[in-house]
Chain A
């Protein structure tokens, strides 16, 4: 379960001045290009480009089968991702807000975090869920929740939370590459 990852940057490669959300877009594009098993799922992520523009322009390049606009059902998004992951795909699901994840909690707790263990390692669920968390945009209801601790109380799921654009891209790529179930977060 323990996969060692080296921090590796080609010092000669070009850099761009990006915001954190643009760095997320860059990471997703990089991984979609690299492996055709990578699939994005989420609400309004395709034609619209995502509520925070994290997936802007990706459906135009990679098509509707790989950047999938889903119905408004968080439980369905994560459940579908579980099925894809078990069958060899690398799903990256987007929650529009961390506070919208609660309907998917059941899927994450009862399936994502333990399929590998309950099948004695026959199946694993290498998937990533992205969710922006926290207050700051003064939206009502659940939009401002910081529920990260709920998911640290879930063995089998890893939780990451980048603070900078550089880390956002590097951690998201590490998350997609790691063949273990994982919960990634970029706020």
Chain B
């Protein structure tokens, strides 16, 4: 709901399409891959900027399509960086992060230099009101996972 009005950008008039099944690399780096979608994309971008200030450069992937997954995009990036942080808002157990792990396992296992990190909601129903803020992944939590993976 937040990204409904989070920002404005240039949208062409009339008809155009964005290909279903393709993600996009929205940040370029060598040390680690951050995968996110929807409202977690700005969170991932902020974490990548903060990591950049510490000398860690990040590939940031906006998945856009969650099924079917863009396996080529994920594999190409993780094989380059050897590290990965997956960010999603949903609870960790049964979340899509696990499927992304299996894609990386299938395509890029021998390229990995650190265990894959996941930054997700906790395994509880989303708590009420202001407690939501503790459930949601934040740039700070993502940055901690980035550093953990890079310094593994």
Contacts and interface: CB of A to CB of B under 8 A. Distances in A.
Query: Is chain B a partner of chain A in the same complex?
Result: yes
Interface of A: 4-10, 13-23, 26, 30-31, 34, 52, 97, 132-138, 140, 144-149, 151-152, 154, 157-167, 169-171, 173-175, 177-178, 182, 185-187
A148 B7 CA distance: 23
A134 B68 CA distance: 21
B94 A161 contact: no
B133 to A, nearest CB: 8
Contact of A159 (B4, B65, B130, B132): B65
Given A145-B126, A171-B20, A159 B7 contact: no
A171 B18 contact: yes
Contacts of A165: 7-9, 11
A12 to B, nearest CB: 10
A16 B38 contact: no
Contact of A14 (B8, B9, B13, B99): B13
B11 A16 contact: yes
A19 B66 CA distance: 22
A9 B10 contact: no
Contacts of B95: 149
A187 B38 contact: yes
Interface string B23-36: 00000000000001
A34 B15 contact: yes
Contact of B17 (A22, A162, A173): A173
Nearest to A3: B20
Given A152-B96, A161-B65, A170-B18, 12 more contacts: A13-B14, A20-B7, A23-B11, A26-B13, A30-B14, A52-B4, A159-B67, A160-B66, A164-B9, A166-B11, A167-B64, A187-B38
Contact of B38 (A7, A18, A134, A178): A134
Contact of B128 (A52, A97, A140, A177): A140
A134 B39 contact: yes
